[in-house]
Structure 1
Amino acid sequence: MTGLQMRDVSFGLIVHVARFAVILFGLWLAPLLGVTGWYLGLFVNVLCAVYAVVLVTYLKLWKSIGFLTLWRGRSSLLLLAVPFAEAVFRVVPNGLTDQPPGFGLWTLTLLLVGFNEELISRGVVLSRLSRSFTAIPAVAVTAALFGLQHLSAFATTDRGTYDVLTNVLASATYGFALAAFQYRFSWIWPLIVIHGLADFTSILARTSYGDLVVAVTCVIFLIYGLVVLRPLARRATRARASSEGRNGSARKPDDQRAR
């Protein structure tokens, strides 16, 4: 790993650790302001959204990550069908359960989750890693950091070790799929919507699927990410072959003179 790559990975790690610090700060501050219970999550995600906006604004990434792009083409829309279908699949066949404080506030909170996590991971971190890594390593490291950030559940929830680690793995593969899409298309706002939808259906679905379904979903997301990146890999291979061909042609007269 080069020095630049190490600095970029360190940058991504610091960005995620800083987000965790924002979460801890929010959990400390909220009760002092009278915010308790379910509304702690909403409050903390507002702070995380502010953190994400500050980062993206400071780094001037709004345009390059595609937040301001309304349409990116038919192929990008078709590829979004896979993560969208995964989100919708959770509500089949039993639909959603209306948990307090109601669908409206759940929608707001989980859109904020999608907003801050996409801007931070697929926006800030992936953009930085893309300058020093090729496609698959950049996407893989982004996904790994995104998965590892969910270790924060050990400090912020009472979930068991197996549950947290399973979520880390599932989040990493999900992050791989979304990072692959973002690397290829630079179109982040649809990912925000789909991410929010996936969290919404995951939490409010009446049906809870077991580990086998989770494992199959993880494999599907890994394959999906590789398929999304495949055209870029082909292009890079052709570019290398073309470059080597030109270099060979440039050396040929010298070789002939030597003979």
Structure 2
Amino acid sequence: MCAAFAIGAVTWLKLWKHSGLFVLWRSKKAALLLLPFAIEALIWLAYPGGFASQAPGLGLWALTLLLVGVNEELTSRVAVLQTLRTAFSSTWAVVLAGVMFGLQHLSLLATGSPSTEDLLTILVLTGVYGFALGAYQFRFTWVLPLILFHAASDFTQILTTEPVPFAMHIAIALTLLTCGIWLLKAHRQAPTGASLIPART
């Protein structure tokens, strides 16, 4: 239902040409700059303690988290980011979209009972992740690989069998934050590829 909502929102806002969902290849540079997201998605597999199947099985987990990726990327990196770009500068649009993505995870209060410390940590880490993804989408207008890496990241983190040290989360977050800032500084104009909604600069 959430994925259907995201598809409906992008359709209603007429943003498909601004999504890059149907672009199979953007450029060598765009592919190379996906590397931090690929490493983030796969690094959990290398952590001692391993990765194991959990009920209801790898197939259903993969399908569910792919739909989560579709929902969250189309909503946050297309609908929200492009709408914010009509009212704010590109930099502020990316920052605000990242903050809003982090705040989405307040839903954990409805689905679980995280401690205040855990909740704040999750909000900050997901906010940084959303900022980096938003900066990439701003730069390249290519949401397809972001959906796939987002789904892969959720998949490997959820199925990691041992708790990951907090320092590892911080190192990953700082790396992604640096990448996001670099992407914004490297290209403050409209992203390569499809033309975007007119935005304030």
Aligned to 2:128: 173
Structure with more relative contact order (C-alpha pairs < 8 Å, separation 6 or more):
2
Whether 1:197 and 2:152 are equivalent positions in the alignment is yes
Q: Report what 1:129 is aligned to.
A: 84
The superposition leaves residues 16-52 of structure 1 with CA deviations (integer Å, 9 ceiling, x where unpaired) of: xxxxxxxxxxxxxxxxxxxxxxxxxxxxxxx101111
Please provide the CA RMSD for this pair: 1.4
> Normalising by the residue count of structure 2, what TM-score does the alignment of the two structures yield?
0.89
Unpaired runs of at least 5, structure 1: 1-46, 237-259
> Which residue identity lines up with residue 181 of structure 2 in the other structure?
L
User: Relative to structure 1, is the Cα distance of residues 144 and 93 closer, same or farther in structure 2, using a 3 angstrom cutoff?
Assistant: closer
Which of 72, 79, 89 is residue 43 of structure 2 equivalent to? 89
- Alpha-carbon distance in structure 2 between the residues aligned to 1:138 and 1:63: 19
Secondary structure in structure 2 of the residue aligned to 1:91: helix
- 1:1-259 residue pairs with structure 2 within 5 A? 47-94=1-48, 95-233=50-188
**Does the CA contact (< 8 Å) of 1:72 and 1:185 recur in 2?**
yes
Identity %: 43
Is the partner of 2:24 in helix, strand or coil? coil
- State the shift of 1:93 in Å: 4.1
Secondary structure, aligned partner of 1:151 = helix
2:194 maps to none
* Structure 1 residue 156: Cα displacement: 2.1
Aligned position for 1:30: none
Could you tell me which amino acid in structure 2 is paired with residue 100 of structure 1?
A
Counterparts of 2:16 and 2:163 in 1: how far apart (Å)?
36
Contact 1:49 1:115 in 2 (8 A): yes
Amino acid paired to 2:27: G
Q: Which has the higher helix share?
A: 1
Any stretches of 5+ residues in structure 2 without a counterpart? 191-201
Deviation at 1:226, TM superposition (A): 0.9
Alpha-carbon distance, 1:96 to partner: 1.4
Partner of 1:20: none
Q: For the residues of structure 2 that align with 1:64 and 1:188, how far apart are their CA atoms?
A: 9
**Is the 1:91–1:206 Cα contact (8 Å) retained in structure 2?**
no
Q: Does the 8 Å contact 1:91/1:207 carry over to 2? A: no
Q: How many residues align?
A: 189
SS of equivalent to 1:167: helix
Specify the code of the residue in structure 1 equivalent to 2:98: A
Q: Deviations over 1:123-156 (max 9, x none)?
A: 1000111123222211100000000111111122
TM-score w.r.t. the length of structure 1 is: 0.70
Equivalent AA in structure 2 for residue 196 of structure 1 = A
The one-letter code of the counterpart of 1:59 is L
